[in-house]
Amino acid sequence: MVSRLDELVGFEPLSPGHSACAGCGAMIAVRQVLLAVPQPYIVVNATGCVEVVTTQYPNTAWRVPYVHVAFENAAAVASGIEAALRVLKEKGLARDHRVVVIAGDGGTADIGLQALSGALERRHSFLYVCYDNEAYMNTGIQRSSLTPHGAWTSTTPFGKAGPKKDLIAFAVSHGVPYAATASPYFWKDLANKVRKALTFDGPTFLHVLAPCNRGWRFDPSLTMRIAKLAVETRYFPLYEVEEGKYRINYFVSRPRPLEEFLRLQERFSYLLRPENAHLLEELKREVEARWEGLVRLAGS
Ligand SMILES: Cc1ncc(C[n+]2csc(CCOP(=O)(O)OP(=O)(O)O)c2C)c(N)n1
Ligand SMILES: [Mg+2]
């Protein structure tokens, strides 16, 4: 069905008027991802902000086939859909649908990790997209294993202790053909990665940083600036791993000071207090170690 919206801007997988916060990085990233996926496709979405804001009964913002699953089983449901589609296609009963999974950092790195590991190991063909807003946002900003060191959340009032999990290394350890990071500011890089991921048979993985103004405590107008600074400070490097080969997509030879990224977000105000300089140093060391490790892996 062609609507006025399609005539104005081309096909949009998500209709406007959903209830996401203004400046929500996750919704921008999800829209960018889906605009790069050729039709037909089926979206499998774990419980989280993206699901909550798009599926308020009796309405839906989804204009493509969509299934909402529990918090922990997105990859398991995607596995079943992919397996069923494969059989139906063999019998000439289905089209060449792709399966795109969308889940938050909590649904991916914590509670859905076991289902994800199983699906990657069984080599189901789907694109798994983790939008990483670095906490359990829709339930009240609780810390996740992707919350960075020193960040305030409602369950880490004095800053979380310890680094982010390395999600790409986790995916790569399963021998996936393609895994990559992306930032909504670098939308072309993101779209290229989506298209590339879809050329592989087997599971592919995208880890997208999704600034969240409610949880990170910044003005909604700053989403893109923060998404850009995350990359330019080496906080969130853009890289891809193709058949085990690492490649840095945006080589940050002269990083901007990490404080430029941190100062815009009140969640780091505790970390930035003079008496907590040791926490800042620890985060800086972690960021640099991550970058150096990446440069070693990429061989450049
Ligand atoms: C088994 C289970 N535990 C807890 C919840 C409550 N719950 C729903 S979504 C969510 C957090 C989601 O965090 P994340 O995946 O990072 O998505 P975000 O809300 O940040 O977009 C929690 C704790 C649940 N639905 N099911
Ligand atoms: Mg989250």
- What is the three-class DSSP state of 132? strand
Q: Residue 6 corresponds to which amino acid?
A: D
* Whether residue 45 has its Cβ less than 6 Å from ligand 1: no
Residue 25: left (phi > 0), alpha (psi -120 to 50), or beta?
A: alpha
Residue 121 Cα distances to 42, 173, 177, 237, 294, angstroms = 21, 10, 12, 26, 24
Helices of type H across 151-202: 167-172, 187-197
* Whether residue 13 has its Cβ less than 6 Å from ligand 1: no
HEC string for 197-236: HCCCCCCEEEEEECCCHHHHCCCHHHHHHHHHHHHHCCCC
Q: Is the peptide bond before 58 cis (omega within 30 degrees of 0)?
A: yes
Q: Which atom of ligand 1 is nearest to the CA of 138?
A: 19
* pLDDT tens by residue, 116-160: 999 999 999 999 999 999 999 999 999 999 999 999 999 999 999
Question: Nearest residue CA, atom 21 of ligand 1?
Answer: 49
* Whether residue 216 has its Cβ less than 6 Å from ligand 1: no
Separation CA 285–CA 273 (nearest Å): 18
* Whether residue 147 has its Cβ less than 6 Å from ligand 1: no
Question: Nearest residue CA, atom 9 of ligand 1?
Answer: 48
Separation CA 213–CA 224 (nearest Å): 11
Confidence of residue 1 (pLDDT cuts 50, 70, 90): low
The total of structural domains in the chain comes to 1
- Which CATH number characterizes residue 33's domain? 3.40.50.970
Q: Which atom of ligand 1 is nearest to the CA of 131?
A: 21
pLDDT at 9 exceeding the cut of 90 = no
Share of the chain above pLDDT 90, in %: 94
Separation CA 235–CA 253 (nearest Å): 13
Strand partners, 243: none
Task: Quote the domain boundaries for residue 203.
Answer: 4-298
Q: Is the pTM of this model over 0.95?
A: yes
